[in-house]
Amino acid sequence: MDPRVVDAVVIVLVAFVPSLVYLVWIRNTEKYSREPWGRLLRVFAYGAVFSVVIAVVLELILMTLYDQNIERVYQALGENPNLTMLVIACVIAPFVEEATKALGVFRARSMMGEIENGIVYGAAAGLGFAATENLLYEGTAFLTDGAEAWIATAVVRSLSSALLHASASAVVGLGIAKSVRNGSSWAPYYLGAVVMHGSFNFAASFGVLYADDIGDVAYLIGLAAAFLIAIVGISSMRSKIRALEGGRSRRIRR
C-alpha cells in the first residue's frame, strides 16, 4: 500500500478515535436508558461535517467584517498587535462554533425524553466537531513540521480541545433539553458555553501573548489552565448526568 495512504488513514484515525472513545465514556455515564448509537452517531456526524462547514463560512464572514472595521476597533480598544488574535479566538470562534454545534443538538431535541439526554447529545455534537477540527490541525502539523509535531499536537488536542468541545456543547445540550422539557430558555446555557470556550481559547493563547514578558513558563501556565477548564467542564457534565438520573430514580422509588 502507498505509504501516503497509510499516513492519511493513521492521521484520520488518530483524530477521530479519541472523540469516539470519549463519546462511549460519556454515553456510559447513564446507567439506564442509554441513547441509541444510531442517533448519537448521526449527531456526531452532523457536528463533524455540517457544523464545521457552517462555522468556517461564518467565521470567514465575521473576520472579513472585522478587518474592514479594524480602524474603528483600534479607536475603541486601542492598537494592540495581539488584538486580532484575541478577538478571533475569544469572541468570534466561541460564539460561532457553539451556535453551529447547537444546530446538531436541536436536530435531536425530539429524542430528549429526559433532561440528561441533552447533555449526551450535546457532547456528541461537540466531539464530532472536535474530531474534524483535530484532523485539520494535526494534519497541518504533520505536513508542515513532521511526525513529532503531529504526535505532540494530537496528544495535546485529544486531552484538551476534544474535551472542551464536548463539555461546552453538553452545556448547550442541557439548556436545549430543559427548554424542550420545561419551556425554559436555553440562551443562558449557550452564553455559558461561549464563556467556557472563550476562556479555554484565552488560556491556549496565553503562551503566545505573554512569552515575551515571562518566558516559556507562559506556555506551561496556559496549557495547564486549558487542561483544567476542559477537565472540570467534562467532569461537571458527567456529574450532572448522574445527579439527574439519580434524582429521578429516587422519585420513582417513592
pLDDT tens, N- to C-terminus, the chain (254 residues): 677 788 889 999 999 999 999 999 999 998 888 899 999 999 999 999 999 999 999 999 999 988 887 777 666 666 666 788 888 999 999 999 999 999 999 988 888 888 999 999 999 999 999 999 999 999 999 999 999 999 999 999 999 999 999 999 999 999 999 999 888 899 999 999 999 999 999 999 988 887 777 877 888 999 999 999 999 999 999 999 999 887 655 555 55
Contact 207, 222 (CB under 8 A): yes
Report the length, in residues, of the chain: 254
Contact 237, 23 (CB under 8 A): no
Helix, strand counts (H, E) of the chain? 12, 0
Buried b (16+ CB within 10 A) or exposed e, 151-163: eebbebbbebbbb
Q: What is the DSSP letter of 51?
A: I
Between CA 51 and CA 48 the distance in angstroms is 6
Closest CA to 119 of 178, 202, 31, 187: 178
Between CA 248 and CA 230 the distance in angstroms is 28
Residue type, 71: E
